[in-house]
Amino acid sequence: MEKVVVKANAKINLTLDVIGKREDGYHLLDMVMHSVGIYDEITIKKNYENNIKVSCDNNSIEIDEMNSAFKAAKLIMEEKEFSGVDIHINKTIPIGAGMAGGSADAAAVIVGINELFNLNMSLEEMKSIALKIGADVPFCIEGGCVRATGIGEKMEKLPIMDLNLLIIKPDESISTAFVYKNLILSELANRPDNNGFIKAMNNNLDEMVKTMGNVLESVTASKVSFINEIKKDMINGKAKISMMTGSGTAVFGIFESISELKDCYESLRFKYNEIFVTKTERGGVYIESRD
């Protein structure tokens, strides 16, 4: 086997609360994440040069040592022996969206290199490497629906949901570091009720949406005007709820019916450049092909 092609799904935050801050500066979170049907495709080839090369079909992506896919390969190379890899990323997950695009790519590389070189790493071993890259990379390996606490590394599996989604990424992006730096814990608003969400999920959509919220939204929306405009457009298009995911800037809407979702999409598809009709799904990382 010389090459594997790996698919890795994006995620959205159905809830996101910040409940404190550690002495080391990391924020303590309580949030529900769910995989969605938008994914990047990563091709990993043996190169026999004992190095790591990254390329991408999107020129705005850094392909040096700061790239999360590069970091993942380097961490494995430091612990295991393999001949080197060429990594090519086909981007579909929007960039700077709060949808774990970089984390998904890292997760794909960990699973792909394990497969390509028969490293026989267990799931827990792969997740241990993933956590060194970012708190949501272990989630991206497994996918599904989880309640994540701590800095995002403590995960409780929840039932997979079946939600109709419209996701819009405005042209503007924002630094995650900027959002957290400007978050004032004592002034948080629109806090979610995570316990209430878990009780209502898959049982009562109307009750579930009442429990949802993202405390980072106010910080991002104060800098990116399109956040509130997109939310308004989706609500006017009969979304049950519309809110930002992660630190932004992507916004999603949940629709009760496919027909209402498609009508909203048709009304907005010429207004926004990056717009996706999708669903929640099992997600995670999958080997698409082996050659």
**CA distances from residue 224 to 68, 134, 169, 180, 248 in whole angstroms, order as listed:** 25, 25, 11, 15, 9
Catalytic residue, chosen from 17, 30, 136, 233, is 136
Two tokens at 250?
């992507």
Count Cβ atoms below 10 Å from residue 198 Cβ, excluding itself: 18
Catalytic residue, chosen from 11, 45, 127, 169, is 11
Among 50, 8, 275, residue whose Cα is nearest residue 140: 8
Q: What is the Cα Rg of the chain in Å?
A: 19
169 is catalytic: no
CB 50 within 8 A of CB 111: no
11 is catalytic: yes
Give the DSSP H or E segment for 168.
Answer: strand 164-169
Among 124, 125, 58, 151, residue whose Cα is nearest residue 97: 58
Instruction: Give catalytic residues, as residue numbers.
Output: 11, 136
